[in-house]
Amino acid sequence: MANHLKRRTLIGLMTAAGMSAAVPLTLRSQPADHGSDIDIRRARFPLIEGITTTGLVSTLPDAPPPVIRMRRNTPYLARVTNRLDDYTAMHWHGLRLDNAMDGVPYLTQFPIAQNESFEYELFSPDAGTFWYHPHCMTMDQMALGLTGILVVEEDEDPGFDAEVPLNLRDFRLDGNGEWIDLWTARGAARGGTFGTIMTTNWRTEPQYEAPSGGLIRLRVAATDTTRIYRLFLPDAEAKIIALDGHPLPALIDMPRTEEEALVLGPGQRADIALLMPQAEGQIATLFTDMPGNARVLARLVATGASENRSLDNLLPLPANPVPEPELAGARREEFVFGWPPEGDIPNNGLCGSLPYTFWSINRTPWAGDAAEAVGPLATFRKNESVIMRLRNESPNDHPIHLHGLVFRPLASNKRTLPPYWTDTVLLQREETIDIVFVADNPGDWAFHCHVIEHQKTGLAGFIRVIEI
Applying CB under 5 A, which residues contact Cu ion?
93, 398, 403, 449, 451, 454
Out of 72, 169, 448, 454, the only residue in the binding site for ligand C2O (CB under 6 A) is: 448
Question: Residue 446, interface with ligand C2O (CB under 6 A)?
Answer: yes
b/e string for 64-101 if b means 16 or more Cβ within 10 A?
A: bbbbbbbbbeeebebebbbebebbbbbbbbbbbbbbeb
Question: Residue 133, interface with ligand C2O (CB under 6 A)?
Answer: yes
Question: Residue 91, interface with ligand C2O (CB under 6 A)?
Answer: yes
Q: Quick one: 300 or 367, whose CB is closer to ligand C2O?
A: 367
Residue 333: CA count within 13 A, CB half-sphere: 18
Instruction: Tell me the residue type at 201.
Output: N
Restricted to residues 298-317, the positions that interact with ligand C2O (CB under 6 A) are none
Question: Residue 135, interface with ligand C2O (CB under 6 A)?
Answer: yes
Residue nearest to ligand C2O (CB): 93
Q: Quick one: 360 or 385, whose CB is closer to Cu ion?
A: 360
3-state secondary structure of 208: strand
Report the nearest approach of ligand C2O to the CB of residue 363 (Å): 21
Out of 403, 408, 454, 456, the only residue in the binding site for ligand C2O (CB under 6 A) is: 403
Question: Residue 456, interface with ligand C2O (CB under 6 A)?
Answer: no
Restricted to residues 252-281, the positions that interact with ligand C2O (CB under 6 A) are 267
CA distance 285 to 300: 6
Report the nearest approach of ligand C2O to the CB of residue 89 (Å): 11
Q: Quick one: 72 or 448, whose CB is closer to ligand C2O?
A: 448
Restricted to residues 203-262, the positions that interact with ligand C2O (CB under 6 A) are none
Q: Quick one: 43 or 150, whose CB is closer to ligand C2O?
A: 150
Alpha-carbon 28 to chain mean position: 18
Question: Residue 93, interface with ligand C2O (CB under 6 A)?
Answer: yes
CA distance 357 to 346: 7
Which of Cu ion, ligand C2O, none binds 133 (CB below 5-8 Å, type-dependent)?
Answer: ligand C2O
Q: Quick one: 309 or 398, whose CB is closer to Cu ion?
A: 398
Element (H, E) at 142: helix 138-143
Stretch of residues binding ligand C2O (CB under 6 A), selected from 81-89, 208-216, 381-389, 445-453: 445-453
Question: For residue 263, what are the β-bridge partners?
Answer: 230
What does the DSSP assignment read for 398-438? EEEEESS--BEEEEESSS---S--BSEEEE-TT-EEEEEEE
Question: For residue 402, what are the β-bridge partners?
Answer: 447
What does the DSSP assignment read for 151-207? EEE-SS----SEEEEEEEEEE-B-TTS-B--S--HHHHTTT-PPPSEEEETTBSS-E
Binding site for ligand C2O (CB under 6 A): 91, 93, 133, 135, 267, 401, 403, 446, 448, 450
